[in-house]
A and B are shown apart, each in its own frame.
Chain A
Amino acid sequence: MNDLRDLYQEVILDHNKRPRNFRVLPQPTHHADGVNPLCGDRVSVFLDIEEGVIRDISFQGAGCAISSASASLMTEALKGKPVNEIEHLFEAFHTVVTSNAECPKGLGKLSVLAGVRDYPSRVKCATLAWHAVRAALEQHKQPVATE
Chain B
Amino acid sequence: MSALPAFTNAPAENTELDLTGIRADFPILRQRIHGKPLVYLDNAASVQKPKVVIDAISECYSSYYANIHRGVHLLSERSTMAYERTREKVRAFLNAASIQEIIFTRGTTESINLVASSFGGSTVKAGDEIVITGMEHHSNIVPWQLLCERTGAVLKAAPFTDAGELILEEYERLLNSGRVKLAAFVHISNALGTINPVKTMVDLARARSIPTLIDGAQSVAHLTVDVRDLDCDFYAFSGHKIYGPSGVGVLYGKQSLLEAMPPYQGGGDMISLVTFEKTEYADLPNKFEAGTPNIAGVIGLGAALDWLSALGLDTVAAHERLLLDYATAQLLEIPGLSIMGTAQQKAALVAFTLQGIHPHDIGTILDREGVAIRAGHHCAQPVMQRYGVPATARASFAVYNTRDEVDALVKALWKVKELFA
Contact = CB atoms under 8 A, between A and B. Distances in A.
Genuine A/B complex:
yes
A38 interface: yes
Contact of A64 (B358, B381, B384, B415): B358
A13 B417 CA distance: 12
B170 interface: no
A101 interface: no
A8 interface: yes
Interface string A51-94: 00000000000111111100000000000000000000000000
Contacts of B240: none
A39 B419 contact: no
A38 B381 CA distance: 11
Contacts of B360: 39, 41, 63-67, 122, 125
Interface in A1-32: 1, 3-5, 7-8, 13
Contacts of B377: 39-40
Interface residues of A, number: 23
B357 to A, nearest CB: 8
Of A62, A64, A68, A125, chain B has the most CB atoms within 10 Å of the CB of A64
Given A39-B376, A39-B377, A40-B384, A4 B390 contact: no
B419 A62 contact: no
Contact of A40 (B361, B368, B376, B415): B376
Given A4-B419, A8-B419, A63 B364 contact: no
Interface in B267-287: none
A117 B149 CA distance: 42
B391 interface: yes
A42 interface: yes
B391 A40 contact: yes
Contact of B361 (A3, A38, A62, A66): A66
B368 A62 contact: no
Nearest to A65: B361
Interface string A98-135: 00000000000000000000010110010000000000
B419 A63 contact: no
A60 to B, nearest CB: 13
B336 to A, nearest CB: 14
A122 B358 CA distance: 13
Contacts of A122: 360, 364
B411 to A, nearest CB: 12
A3 B390 contact: no
Of A3, A8, A68, chain B has the most CB atoms within 10 Å of the CB of A8
B376 A38 contact: yes
Contact of B391 (A5, A8, A41, A65): A41
Interface string B174-218: 000000000000000000000000000000000000000000000
Nearest to A39: B376
A122 B367 CA distance: 13
B412 to A, nearest CB: 11
B41 interface: no
Contact of A62 (B365, B381, B390, B420): B390
B53 interface: no
B90 interface: no
A1 B419 CA distance: 8
Given A4-B368, A8-B419, A119-B364, 17 more contacts: A1-B415, A4-B364, A4-B419, A8-B420, A39-B359, A39-B360, A39-B375, A39-B377, A39-B390, A39-B391, A40-B384, A40-B391, A63-B360, A65-B358, A65-B360, A65-B420, A66-B360
Interface of B: 357-361, 364-365, 368, 375-377, 381, 384, 390-391, 415, 419-420
Interface of A: 1, 3-5, 7-8, 13, 38-42, 62-68, 119, 121-122, 125
10 contacts: A1-B419, A5-B419, A39-B375, A62-B358, A62-B390, A64-B359, A64-B360, A65-B360, A65-B420, A67-B360
Across the A-B interface, the 7 shortest Cβ-Cβ residue pairs: A64-B360, A64-B358, A40-B377, A39-B376, A65-B361, A62-B390, A40-B390
